[in-house]
């Protein structure tokens, strides 16, 4: 059989992804016979012989010249062996590349995150990660506006809640839950009166967070199962929660803020929590990334790290105040 015909046969085998028996064939060649190959592979001699027979039948060639003591390769068998060795080397090289990329954290990640949550809760972990893995490159962006991850070439986004269903080409994973607190300063409550019920809030000035061109309403849980929203009246609105916290500290009104942001203010009495028996609905935090067939080690590790640690950060003792 001519080399051209052998190449065509091998192409057909490759296209069918039919590599059954190749490892057995290589072992027979390297062992010098069916019996030794069977011993090395922990198979019966008959099983090895049948495997080789199926390959020969599929290819339409004889791979071995059989003698009583040894199995020598035919000319076609030599060609097939050389191609199989090359193919196996390519497969192993490909696996090494993937495994190196998967288990060695290196390369660049472009990440977008909310301004305050990112700055005070997410960024510290990412900097720790960059310190640990010296070949990791981070491009960190901060914005409260929703970005097109694919068009802007972002590898990962961290988002507070999801306002709509994501397109199918994006993957999403909930990585933390952010608790919120309704609060006001003692000076404001002394001036404008206490708040004991939801109805009381309707008579107070609200400090409202504005996102995606609309106010973020206050979602309360009545029994931990259902939710209802309170549309507060407001005079002051903000697109930055840090600025809103400053206004609350100055006695300008009632605010709904993340607990991590005002933890020290609550602890030291500068802000007073309100309606604690009627808690605000928590807000889920998500990791979002474009669909990819093979996730890199740097992306996988980053998402896992945030999932393991971010929840503890946003609900415990990490805040702006010192």
Q: What is the mean pLDDT of residues 198-216?
A: 84
pLDDT for 59 equals 86
Judge whether 178 and 260 are in contact, CB under 8 Å: yes
Q: What is the mean pLDDT of residues 83-92?
A: 74
pLDDT in tens, 249-275: 999 999 999 999 999 999 999 999 998
pLDDT for 319 equals 37
Judge whether 88 and 95 are in contact, CB under 8 Å: no
Answer whether residue 279 shows pLDDT above 90: no
pLDDT for 6 equals 45
Q: What is the mean pLDDT of residues 192-220?
A: 85
pLDDT for 118 equals 94
Confidence of residue 234 (pLDDT cuts 50, 70, 90): confident
Confidence of residue 9 (pLDDT cuts 50, 70, 90): very low
153 torsion bin: left (phi>0), alpha (psi -120 to 50), beta (else): left
Compute the distance between CA of residue 108 and CA of residue 296 in angstroms, rounded to an integer: 10
**Helices 3-15 + 45-59 axis angle, to 10:** 110
For residue 257, give every residue at least 6 positions away whose Cβ sits within 8 Å of its Cβ, in sequence order, or none.
180, 181, 183, 241, 244, 245, 248
Query: Out of 6-20, 31-45, 124-138, which region has the weakest mean confidence (pLDDT)?
Result: 6-20
Higher pLDDT, 229 or 29: 29
Answer whether residue 4 shows pLDDT above 50: no
pLDDT for 13 equals 42
pLDDT for 103 equals 57
Higher pLDDT, 139 or 319: 139
Confidence of residue 276 (pLDDT cuts 50, 70, 90): confident
HEC readout, the chain: CCHHHHHHHHHHHHHCCCCCCHHHHHHHHHHCCHHHHHHHHCCCHHHHHHHHHHHHHHHCCCCEEECCCCEEECHHHHHHHHHHHHHHHHHHHHHHHHHHHHHCCCEEEEEEECHHHHHHHHHHHHHHHHHHCCCEEEEEEECCCCCCCCCCCCCEEEEECCCCCCCCCEEEEEEEEECEEEEECHHHHHHHCCCCCHHHHCCCCEEEEEECCEECCEEEECCCCCEEEECCCEEEEECCHHHHHHHHHCCCCEEEEEHHHHHHHHHCCCCEECCCCCCECCEEEEEEEECCCCCCHHHHHHHHHHHHHHHHHHCCCCCCCC
Q: Is 151 exposed, middle or buried (0-12, 13-18, 19+ CB in 10 A)?
A: exposed
- The residues that bridge with 157 in the sheet, in sequence order, are 112, 288
Compute the distance between CA of residue 286 and CA of residue 307 in angstroms, rounded to an integer: 9
Percent of the chain's residues with pLDDT above 90: 33
Higher pLDDT, 79 or 321: 79
Higher pLDDT, 59 or 252: 252
- Structural domains in the chain plus CATH codes: 3-103 (1.10.10.10), 107-176+287-314 (3.40.190.10), 180-281 (3.40.190.10)
Answer whether residue 226 shows pLDDT above 70: no
Compute the distance between CA of residue 215 and CA of residue 232 in angstroms, rounded to an integer: 10
pLDDT for 10 equals 43
pLDDT in tens, 121-153: 999 999 999 998 988 999 999 998 888 888 888
Answer whether residue 222 shows pLDDT above 70: no
Q: What is the mean pLDDT of residues 149-175?
A: 88
pLDDT in tens, 105-119: 888 999 999 999 999
pLDDT for 98 equals 54
Burial annotation 244-278 (CB, 10 A radius, 16+ → b, else e): bbebbbebbbbbbbbbbbbbbbbeeebbbebbeee
pLDDT for 231 equals 61
Q: What is the mean pLDDT of residues 52-77?
A: 82
Compute the distance between CA of residue 237 and CA of residue 256 in angstroms, rounded to an integer: 12
The alpha carbon torsion through 52, 58, 61, 67 (nearest 10 deg) reads: 20
Answer whether residue 202 shows pLDDT above 90: no
pLDDT for 126 equals 94
């Amino acid at each position: 059989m001519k080399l051209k015909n052998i190449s065509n046969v091998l192409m057909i085998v490759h296209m069918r992804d039919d590599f059954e028996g190749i490892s057995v064939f290589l072992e027979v060649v390297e062992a010098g016979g069916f019996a030794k190959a069977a011993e090395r592979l922990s198979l019966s001699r008959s099983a090895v012989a049948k495997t080789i027979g199926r390959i020969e039948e599929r290819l339409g060639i004889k791979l071995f010249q059989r003698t009583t003591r040894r199995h020598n390769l035919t000319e076609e068998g030599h060609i097939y062996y050389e191609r199989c060795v090359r193919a196996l080397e390519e497969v192993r090289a490909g696996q090494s590349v993937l495994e190196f990329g998967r288990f060695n954290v290196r390369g660049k990640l472009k990440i977008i995150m909310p301004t305050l949550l990112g700055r005070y809760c997410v960024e510290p972990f990412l900097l720790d990660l960059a310190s640990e893995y010296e070949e990791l490159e981070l491009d960190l962006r901060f914005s409260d506006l929703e970005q097109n991850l694919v068009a802007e070439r972002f590898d990962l986004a961290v988002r507070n809640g999801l306002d709509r269903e994501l397109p199918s080409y994006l993957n999403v994973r909930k990585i933390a839950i952010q608790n919120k607190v309704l609060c006001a300063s003692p000076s404001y409550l002394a001036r404008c009166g206490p708040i004991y019920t939801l109805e009381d809030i309707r008579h107070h000035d609200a400090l409202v967070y504005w996102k995606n061109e609309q106010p973020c309403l206050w979602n309360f849980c009545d029994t931990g199962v259902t939710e209802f929203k309170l549309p507060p009246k407001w005079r002051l609105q903000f697109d930055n929660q840090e600025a809103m916290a400053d206004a609350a500290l100055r006695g300008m009104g009632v605010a709904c803020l993340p607990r991590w942001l005002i933890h020290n203010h609550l602890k030291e009495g500068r802000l007073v929590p309100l309606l604690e028996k009627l808690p605000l609905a928590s807000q889920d935090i998500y990791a979002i990334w474009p669909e990819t067939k093979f996730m890199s080690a740097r992306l996988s590790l980053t998402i896992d790290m945030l999932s393991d640690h971010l929840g503890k950060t946003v609900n415990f003792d990490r805040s702006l105040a010192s």
